[in-house]
Amino acid sequence: MKRIASLLFLILALQTTVPAWEVITHEGRRYVSIQDVSKFYRLRDPVLNGPAFTLTGGTKTIRGRAGTREIYINNVKYILCFPITQKDGQILISAMDVTKIIEPVMRPGLIKNAHAIRTVILDAGHGGHDSGAMGQRGIEKEATLDVVLRAKRLLEQNGYNVRLTRSSDVFIPLEDRAAFANRFTNAVFVSVHFNKSGGGPASGIETFALAPRGVPSMDEENFSYSDLKLHPGHTQDAENIALATALHSSMLRQMRLSDRGIKRARFVVIRDIRIPGVLLEGGFMNHPLDGKLIASPAYRDAFARAILEGVGRYRSAVSGESTYQPPSAVASATDKTSIPDLRRSISPIGMHPMLNEAVQRAAESIKAKDPQPQEPTPNAN
């Protein structure tokens, strides 16, 4: 009886409350309007201010501006896969970004594959002959190991199993780090790094999650063959962004440096793993303020607390009770059948010119009987 009642409720809910998504094709890419986003997540009508918009409802907010790649969801900054755009007076967000960022961030409880987390793999960036970024007050490989050891103690005190890719000053190839992570289940992978700026002085913290298939990496200018490949990490796109959200917002709270946002890349350690993973950049070694903080035990403790808090937030977010809403044709990151159809966008018709070129190059490299086309191995500082 209870089952029939909930089935009836479901049918009613399907008929009455789930707005349809209107998919708008613009320059060969699929978009939805912010009106549709607000309806789907039951937010109030968009408040517009020129190209800027705000969607609010309850404790949730989404803010953005047409012409930019930044969006704030619940006050955390994300760098979108594609810019927000305008067409016929409507502000549009790419279907890819709705699926890969907004959905898992707004409704992490619906991520189906998220397992109960018992183990945390901590990866101290660099080591041995690979020093990483150098600052006046220290070197990256030492700072990352120290933060990781502090985080290990905290996590273990809180009942987690912790495994380290390195616990001393040794060089471990990136591929070996990913392979190590893949030995564990019910686990997450957290890679700890610090930044270095090349041009002017840069400051702040940023978090990298794996760029979804078909999305350019934010450390590369153009599409490459790698953008079109399905990597092991792609099976956890939703978990990756949920983990990035949890860790990044905890870093902002604990470490109090400026917010450079959650970004996308194909670094080996987050690309080749089969468990949810992120790469954290906890400030700039060569910035006067960041560098001073990074050298201090208090800041390293704060980083360690951020990791503990972030893993806890992720765990409760993905296991949390969530009001049921049926998966949508566009917006559910949890339903495999509703992930945007990439085949459509890589078919030669109506395709984005940049993607077209990348497909062409990929096809040529396959024709040249090169089974493993040469692609630059992304590396993080």
* For Zn ion, the closer CB: 193 or 313: 193
- The stretch among 126-134, 174-182, 323-331, 361-369 that binds Zn ion (CB under 5 A) is 126-134
Instruction: Candidates 46, 104, 125, 291: give the one binding Zn ion (CB under 5 A).
Output: 125
CB of 30 or CB of 193, closer to Zn ion: 193
Min dist CB 275 to Zn ion, Å, is 20
Identified binder of Zn ion from the candidate list 35, 54, 161, 381, rule CB under 5 A: 381
**Alpha-carbon gap, residue 64 to 28, rounded angstroms:** 22
Neighbours of 322 (CB within 10 A): 14
Smallest gap, in angstroms, from Cβ of residue 194 to Zn ion? 6
Contact flag: residue 193 with Zn ion (CB under 5 A): yes
Angle between helices 297-319 and 140-157 (to 10 degrees): 50
Question: Alpha-carbon distance 158 to 33, whole Å?
Answer: 43
Tell me if 233 contacts Zn ion by CB under 5 A: no
Nearer to Zn ion, 107 or 177 (CB): 177
**In the complex, least distance from residue 126 CB atom to Zn ion, rounded to whole angstroms:** 6
| 132 near Zn ion, rule: CB under 5 A | yes
Considering the rule CB under 5 A, would residue 212 count as an interface residue with Zn ion? no
Cβ atoms of 303 and 150 closer than 8 Å: yes
What is the DSSP code string of 335-346?
-GGGS--HHHHH
- Closest approach, Cβ 48 to Zn ion, in A, equals 40
Which residue's Cβ lies closest to Zn ion?
Answer: 193
* 248: enclosing H helix or E strand: helix 237-255
The Cα diameter of the chain in Å comes to 70
Query: Closest distance between Zn ion and the C-beta of residue 140, in Å?
Result: 5
Does residue 177 touch Zn ion according to CB under 5 A?
no
The minimum distance between CB 108 and Zn ion, in angstroms, equals 27
Which stretch in 60-68, 125-133, 182-190, 209-217 sits in contact with Zn ion by CB under 5 A? 125-133
DSSP-assigned states of every residue in 110-178: G-TTPPPP-EEEEEE--BTTB---EETTEEHHHHHHHHHHHHHHHHHHTT-EEEES-SSS----HHHHH
Nearest to 305 by CA among 195, 155, 142: 155
Using CB under 5 A as the binding rule, whether residue 261 contacts Zn ion is answered as no
Cβ(291)–Cβ(137) below 8 Å: yes
Binding site for Zn ion (CB under 5 A): 125, 132, 193, 381
